[in-house]
Amino acid sequence: MPELKFVHCADIHLDAPFSSLGPGKSSIRRQELLHTFQRIIQITREENAGLLLISGDLYEHDYVRRSTVGSVCDLFLTLPDTDIFIIPGNHDPLTANSYYRTFRWPDNVHILDGERPFHILESRCVCVYGAAFRGYREDRLPLPARVQQAQNLFNILLAHGTVDLDMGGGGYNPMNSRELAAAGMDYVALGHFHNRKDNIGGYGILYNPGSPEPLGFDEPGEHGIYAGSLSASPGKKAELRDLRFIRTGRYEYETLEVTLNECSSDLQALERIGDFLHFSNPGTRLVQLVLKGYVDPSYRPDTGFLSDRLEKSAFSIKIKNETLPGYMLEELCREPGLRGLFTRKMLARIEKAEAGAAKAQLMRALYFGLEALDKGVIEGIG
């Protein structure tokens, strides 16, 4: 069989709303997703790939515009020598009004679903399998039957869902890497997880590239796609060769913790925060600042003011206030009144609590309780 080159991507999420960024910046992010997809098309052309595999969530069904689908099809037309395989995922399911049903897709685009779970390309010696989400949740999609046992065909499976995770009842097509490997495929092109996962299960054929662009603060690190090839000698099993991860993501999400110990004003806080915000490409960074530490009891960080003053330091800055008033607890414990009694009882509970979230929550309750005793009100809980 001749060598078969391919590009594998997933989870592009075209026309994702990015509503938390506001109208202007959300529009920029949507445009950048399409630019990244254009880059994927360019890489496919540069790789001279016979197949482009898209393992679900090409677009956002609830938000995608017809013009965006038209632009995607125009891009596909620039790859006349490439066959494009798509499976609908949980964000672009194959519903009755899906563009996968209602739009005219180019002849080189093959959309796999339950009625058409595989497609054979004799000219490329390949059979590609896949299953489609028909709604936003799927408890379990059946693995396609191995219909082609012939040694003269490469076998590729496109699948979208959670792998090797017990999701407590499913919902997003839970799969087992052992079962996927047992299906006898030469390559399994996965999607759904937005962070890259190489060689899942250690079987040498299961790969998830993640999303080409990060879409949230829970998606750190590099983002991109795979390019590789399959080849086989007469009478031997196909081999996956030269699988490479190619970075396509331009934007980066980062969460930074800044300790504001002893700060008593927003100007002091700005100076402390400024030590952390030095990026080579601030226009492509989305930053979540988590303010920590024990500040002056009379000071509460104004996150709106801080965000406005820092807006040029990154494409987007979100601030979460987790500071606490800097009370002298040892001195409070010795007080004879209500504050002393409250402090002693809360510290006793904190000492018995398990380390982690429970202990941190009780500590916050102690400080907010002291603030309420001192001021009669808690001036915002951030």
CATH number at residue 129: 3.60.21.10
pLDDT of res. 359: 82
> Considering the domain boundaries, does residue 178 fall inside one?
yes
Range with the lowest mean pLDDT among 25-34, 136-145, 241-250, 340-349?
Answer: 136-145
Q: Which residues pair with 259 in a beta bridge?
A: 292
User: Please, which pLDDT band fits residue 329 given cuts at 50, 70 and 90?
Assistant: confident
- Tell me how far apart the alpha carbons of residues 259 and 196 are, in angstroms, rounded to a whole number: 31
Q: Looking at the 3D structure of the chain, how many domains does it have?
A: 2
Domain identity same for 78 and 120: yes
Residue-wise over 219-248: b if at least 16 C-beta within 10 A, else e? beeebbbbbbbbbbeeeeebebeebebbeb
Range with the lowest mean pLDDT among 23-37, 67-81, 232-246, 255-269?
Answer: 232-246
Residue-wise over 314-323: b if at least 16 C-beta within 10 A, else e? bbbbbbebeb
Domain identity same for 152 and 19: yes
Average pLDDT of the chain, as a whole number: 90
> Using CB atoms within 10 A of its CB, is residue 188 exposed (0-12), middle (13-18) or buried (19+)?
buried
Domain identity same for 270 and 365: yes
pTM (predicted TM-score): 0.85
Domain identity same for 370 and 309: yes
Q: Where are the alpha helices (DSSP H) in 13-159?
A: 23-46, 66-77, 99-102
- Tell me how far apart the alpha carbons of residues 51 and 108 are, in angstroms, rounded to a whole number: 10
> Considering the domain boundaries, does residue 382 fall inside one?
no
Give all strands of the β-sheet with 316-321 in edge-to-edge order: 252-259, 285-292, 316-321
- Tell me how far apart the alpha carbons of residues 147 and 155 are, in angstroms, rounded to a whole number: 10
Single residue among 216, 247, 278 that ends a domain in this structure: 247
pLDDT of res. 137: 86
Q: What is the mean pLDDT of residues 11-39?
A: 96
- Tell me how far apart the alpha carbons of residues 82 and 229 are, in angstroms, rounded to a whole number: 14
Q: Averaging pLDDT over each range in 93-102, 112-121, 339-348, 351-360, which range is the top one? A: 93-102
Closest Cα to residue 143, out of 111, 173, 120, 171?
173
* Sign of CA pseudo-dihedral 325, 328, 329, 334: negative
Instruction: Give 333 or 95, the one with higher predicted confidence.
Output: 95
pLDDT of res. 168: 57
Single residue among 247, 278, 293 that ends a domain in this structure: 247
Domain identity same for 273 and 136: no
As a residue count, the chain comes to: 382
Domain identity same for 261 and 201: no
> Considering the domain boundaries, does residue 381 fall inside one?
no
Domain identity same for 62 and 194: yes
Domain identity same for 213 and 77: yes
Single-letter amino acid code for the residue at 149: Q
Range with the lowest mean pLDDT among 22-36, 102-116, 150-164, 259-273?
Answer: 150-164
Single-letter amino acid code for the residue at 65: R
User: Please, which pLDDT band fits residue 288 given cuts at 50, 70 and 90?
Assistant: very high
- Tell me how far apart the alpha carbons of residues 92 and 70 are, in angstroms, rounded to a whole number: 15
Report the relative pairing of strands 239-247 and 224-231 from DSSP bridges: antiparallel
Q: Quick check: 188 and 159 in contact, CB under 8 A? A: yes
> Considering the domain boundaries, does residue 124 fall inside one?
yes
Closest Cα to residue 185, out of 374, 8, 377, 335?
8
CB 80: neighbour CB atoms within 10 A?
9
Closest Cα to residue 63, out of 94, 91, 89?
91
Q: Which domain, by its residues, includes 200? A: 4-247
- Tell me how far apart the alpha carbons of residues 209 and 9 are, in angstroms, rounded to a whole number: 6
Query: 314 pLDDT exceeds 90?
Result: yes
| pLDDT tens, position by position, 92-129 | 999 999 999 999 999 999 999 877 788 999 999 999 99
- Tell me how far apart the alpha carbons of residues 197 and 373 are, in angstroms, rounded to a whole number: 51
Domain identity same for 240 and 256: no
Share of the chain above pLDDT 70, in %: 94
Domain identity same for 149 and 270: no
> Considering the domain boundaries, does residue 380 fall inside one?
no
Range with the lowest mean pLDDT among 189-193, 320-324, 360-364?
Answer: 360-364
Q: What is the mean pLDDT of residues 169-186?
A: 83
Query: 223 pLDDT exceeds 80?
Result: yes
Closest Cα to residue 250, out of 281, 219, 287?
281
Domain identity same for 78 and 99: yes
pLDDT of res. 235: 67
Domain identity same for 231 and 312: no
pLDDT of res. 379: 59
Query: 382 pLDDT exceeds 50?
Result: no
> Considering the domain boundaries, does residue 49 fall inside one?
yes
Single residue among 195, 227, 247 that ends a domain in this structure: 247
Instruction: Give 87 or 337, the one with higher predicted confidence.
Output: 87
Q: Which residues pair with 254 in a beta bridge?
A: 287
pLDDT of res. 146: 56
DSSP letter, residue 242: E
pLDDT of res. 194: 96
pLDDT of res. 145: 62
Range with the lowest mean pLDDT among 90-99, 100-109, 237-246, 337-346?
Answer: 337-346
**CB within 8 Å of 218: residues ≥ 6 apart:** 194
